[in-house]
């Protein structure tokens, strides 16, 4: 009997080790668009292996096993259907929602442990509390991020003394956590108060953050979810959860730092500076008059260019214009025009948003370049075609010390010989800052929905002969 038990335990640990290797391999392959699909599959295979082994050897009663299987089938079925149906333009909010579900699951594990009294070991209880706290903040914060991205929450909630209120919620929650450790097993109302405080803190932290900062926020909550899962892995003594959570937490942390660096801002500035309000004017020194251009003239300019750099932004995503954009670029390439796509790290509403959309449209990876690779090429470009991007091409970030985005690395679109900006109207971008690019002498504005405007450009290029 002892030998059989030992054999089962060895098999479980070996399976978890294989699953962990698959997680790491998958994450490594996800770092390149060329291998990302296979990376997702490898990581998914690792998760499937860990899940099956856990269920088979969990030693649960028949009723518990049935409940676990039902939950897995329902959750997996919902994820399959939603994953198949969600539009690529809605991917940021889906990522935010799934991040939240991971944090919520970790918090639920902690809640079970804390409500039943858990272990008398203070270290064990503290780890459960930390994971529950982080998971709860990630869960509620991710739901608010989802609401902002989905348009369910249209304004950032701000009021005087807000930071003090958030600090009070944090202190009260930590005090309840300390009480739980000191009195273990703690009374149910104390445990409930702890989780309510953590959930409220996630909401309070995220509500004031504007939509322009969502890429950083999504990355942050991704990291927090991973950390929460890792902590709860220690609570359950589950090696697969520890490794997977640690890997996700580390990757999310690095990505968050990358996003913040791309905006030349610290994480604290993103969370507490109240920057990035949707539609709220935040300054800028845009001079000059926006000069409109007809699609027919813009099409001729592109058709007879030697080099065109396309800068996609959230406007392209909203209009679902990525397929039309690639159709236009194919026409230009057929005419002998050199075409490049320039991607800023924080373009869109999640990390890699533009890369995902362009990949869906079939744009070859070799035509897509990031900021560092392509910035030196704008000076040799006959035209820069800006499609729904704003702050990432604003020269005030380079030239105006009074601008809120001064110091932020940008795409040097203003150094191209000609600039065509496709934009719905003359309003400000998502962060509410005037764009100095729009008033430059070489810039022309093509107003309208991105998909409609690009369709007109396609006709103009075809008519150019």
Residue with tokens 């079970």: 112
Mean pLDDT check: name the lowest of 221-230, 278-287, 289-298: 278-287
**Mean per-residue pLDDT of the chain:** 86
What confidence tier does 272 reach under pLDDT thresholds 50, 70, 90? low
- Same structural domain for residues 246 and 149? yes
Distance of CA 229 to the CA centre of its chain: 19
Cα–Cα distance, 389 to 392 (Å, whole number): 7
What is the mean pLDDT of the segment spanning 397-412? Answer: 85
What confidence tier does 340 reach under pLDDT thresholds 50, 70, 90? very high
- Same structural domain for residues 51 and 182? no
Taking 80 as the threshold, does the pLDDT of residue 34 lie above it? Answer: no
Q: Which of 215, 222, 343 is nearest to 276 (CA)?
A: 215
Mean pLDDT check: name the lowest of 6-15, 102-111, 318-327, 359-368: 6-15
Q: What is the pLDDT of residues 421-451, one digit of tens each?
A: 998 866 555 556 788 899 899 999 999 899 9
Here the CATH number for the domain that contains residue 444 is: 3.40.50.1220
Q: What is the pLDDT of residues 287-312, one digit of tens each?
A: 568 899 999 999 999 999 999 999 99
What confidence tier does 265 reach under pLDDT thresholds 50, 70, 90? confident
Question: What region does 283 belong to: left with phi over 0, alpha with psi -120 to 50, or beta?
Answer: left
DSSP classification of residue 209: S
**Position 287 in a domain:** no
Is 334 a catalytic site residue? no
- Same structural domain for residues 74 and 94? no
* pTM listed for this prediction: 0.78
Beta carbons of 449 and 422 less than 8 angstroms apart: no
Q: Which of 278, 307, 342 is the last residue of a domain?
A: 278
- Same structural domain for residues 317 and 449? yes
Contacts 24+ apart (CB under 8 A), 373-377: 374/309, 374/340, 374/342, 374/411, 375/342, 375/411, 375/412, 377/307, 377/309, 377/340
Give the E-state strand segments of 274-382 in sequence order: 307-312, 338-343, 368-370
Q: How many domains does the chain have?
A: 3
User: What pLDDT does residue 227 have?
Assistant: 93
Q: Element (H or E) spanning 386, and its range?
A: strand 383-387
- Same structural domain for residues 230 and 359? no
Bridge-based pairing of strands 443-447 and 368-370 is: unpaired
User: What pLDDT does residue 282 have?
Assistant: 45
Q: Which of 255, 377, 214 is nearest to 311 (CA)?
A: 377
Q: Which of 32, 59, 85 is the last residue of a domain?
A: 85
- Same structural domain for residues 78 and 94? no
- Same structural domain for residues 237 and 207? yes
User: What pLDDT does residue 400 have?
Assistant: 84
What confidence tier does 1 reach under pLDDT thresholds 50, 70, 90? very low
Contacts 24+ apart (CB under 8 A), 23-30: 23/47, 23/243, 23/244, 23/247, 24/247, 27/247, 27/251
State the residue range of the domain holding 143. Answer: 88-278
Question: Which listed residue (391, 396, 414, 434) is catalytic?
Answer: 391
């Amino acid at each position: 009997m002892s030998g059989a038990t030992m054999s089962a335990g060895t098999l479980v640990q070996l399976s978890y080790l294989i699953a962990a290797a698959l997680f790491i391999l998958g994450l490594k392959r996800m770092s390149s668009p060329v291998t990302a699909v296979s990376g997702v599959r490898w990581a998914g295979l690792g998760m499937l292996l860990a899940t099956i082994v856990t269920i088979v050897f969990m030693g649960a009663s028949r009723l518990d096993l049935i409940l676990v299987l039902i939950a897995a089938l329902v959750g997996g079925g919902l994820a399959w259907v939603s994953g198949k149906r969600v539009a690529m333009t809605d991917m940021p909010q889906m990522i935010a929602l799934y991040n939240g579900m991971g944090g919520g699951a970790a918090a639920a594990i902690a809640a079970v442990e804390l409500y039943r009294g858990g272990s008398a070991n203070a270290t064990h209880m503290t780890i459960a509390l930390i994971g529950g706290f982080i998971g709860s903040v990630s869960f509620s914060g991710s739901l608010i991020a989802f609401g902002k991205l989905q348009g369910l929450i249209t304004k950032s909630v701000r009021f005087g003394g807000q930071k003090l209120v958030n600090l009070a919620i944090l202190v009260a929650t930590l005090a309840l956590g300390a009480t739980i450790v000191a009195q273990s097993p703690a009374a149910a109302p104390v445990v409930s108060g702890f989780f309510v405080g953590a959930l409220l803190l996630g909401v309070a932290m995220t509500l004031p953050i504007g939509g322009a900062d969502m890429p950083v926020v999504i990355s942050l909550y991704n990291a927090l979810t991973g950390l929460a899962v890792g902590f709860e892995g220690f609570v359950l003594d589950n090696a697969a959860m520890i490794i997977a959570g640690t890997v996700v937490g580390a990757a999310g942390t690095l990505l968050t730092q990358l996003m913040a660096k791309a905006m030349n801002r610290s994480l604290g500035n993103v969370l507490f500076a109240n920057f990035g309000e949707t539609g709220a004017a935040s300054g800028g020194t845009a001079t000059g008059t926006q000069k409109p251009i007809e699609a027919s003239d813009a099409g001729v300019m592109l058709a007879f260019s030697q080099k065109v750099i396309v800068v996609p932004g959230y406007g392209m995503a909203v209009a679902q214009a990525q397929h039309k954009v690639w159709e236009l670029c194919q026409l230009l390439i057929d005419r002998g025009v050199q075409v490049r796509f320039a991607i800023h790290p924080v373009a869109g509403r999640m990390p890699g948003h533009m890369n995902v959309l362009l990949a869906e449209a079939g744009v070859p990876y070799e035509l897509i370049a990031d900021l560092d690779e392509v910035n030196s090429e704008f000076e040799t470009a006959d035209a820069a075609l800006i499609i729904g991007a704003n702050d990432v091409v604003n020269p005030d970030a380079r030239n105006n010390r009074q601008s809120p985005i001064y110091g932020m690395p940008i795409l040097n679109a203003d150094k191209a010989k000609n600039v065509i900006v496709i934009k719905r109207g003359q309003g400000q971008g998502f962060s509410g800052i005037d764009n100095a690019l729009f008033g430059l002498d070489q810039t022309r504005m093509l107003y309208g929905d991105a998909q409609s405007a690009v369709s007109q450009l396609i006709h103009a290029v075809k008519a150019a002969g």
